[in-house]
Amino acid sequence: MIFSQDITGLVLAGGRGSRMGGVDKGLQTFQGQPLALHALQRLQPQVGPCMLNANRHLDTYQSFGVPVHADVLPGYAGPLAGFLTGLTYCSTPWLLTVPCDSPCFPLDLAQRMAQAAVHAQATIVLAAGPQAGRDGAVSVRPQPVFALLHRNLLPSLQTFVQEGGSKIDTWTQQHPHALCRFDQASDDAQAFANANTLQELHMLQGQTALD
């Protein structure tokens, strides 16, 4: 069994925000507060300690009240850089990552991911949840930046990125891994909706305001 205190939560807010015009995505407003803060507050009740991964405006992120760590790799190296940073500073057996731009993730995310890890005897669990495609149709898709990772994976990930690896699925397939499906009728179709552009952020804001 994995207890909530065994899991460190990490909000990933270290991207370039290129599809938002280069703005710091985690500081864009959602429901009256920064996206990253909203994600942090949604994650904190589910886990033990929490931290943030950010590469700009570190003083602002530090005001959220948890440790803030910049990428341990240079050049905005993507989600794996966030994973590596989180594992580097993780003090619990497990690390749970969530992106700052999917602010409606399930309130039982950590619990169900932990159950999947135990059931599958996996050291990596990735979420798979309902998400609307461009045509509006909703299907269950892997959400690889929602990841539960065992702390012992740090040396493996260090080696992988040092050898030039950059794809999450290529690395995860090297280890016992599992998908945690969030596809029950009770799951919100917006749970894993992400805001890559300001237009998508405004749409998500409007959709959640109607719920």
The type of residue at 3 is: F
Q: End-to-end CA distance of the chain, in Å?
A: 34
How far apart, in whole angstroms, are the C-alpha atoms of residue 32 and residue 157? 36
Q: For residue 27, which phi and psi values (nearest 5 degrees)?
A: -100, 5
Domains and CATH numbers, the chain: 4-210 (3.90.550.10)
pLDDT at 198: 67
Which residue from 140, 101, 94 is spatially nearest to 118, judged by alpha carbons? 94
Instruction: Name the pTM for this structure.
Output: 0.91
CA-closest candidate to residue 104, choices 17, 196, 31, 199? 31
pLDDT of residue 210: 43
* Known binding-site positions for GTP: 12-14, 25, 53, 71, 101
Three-state secondary structure call for residue 147: strand
Average pLDDT over residues 177-201: 76
Binding residues for Mg(2+): 101
Q: Residues forming the annotated binding site?
A: 12-14, 25, 53, 71, 101
Range of weakest confidence among 52-66, 113-127, 180-194: 180-194
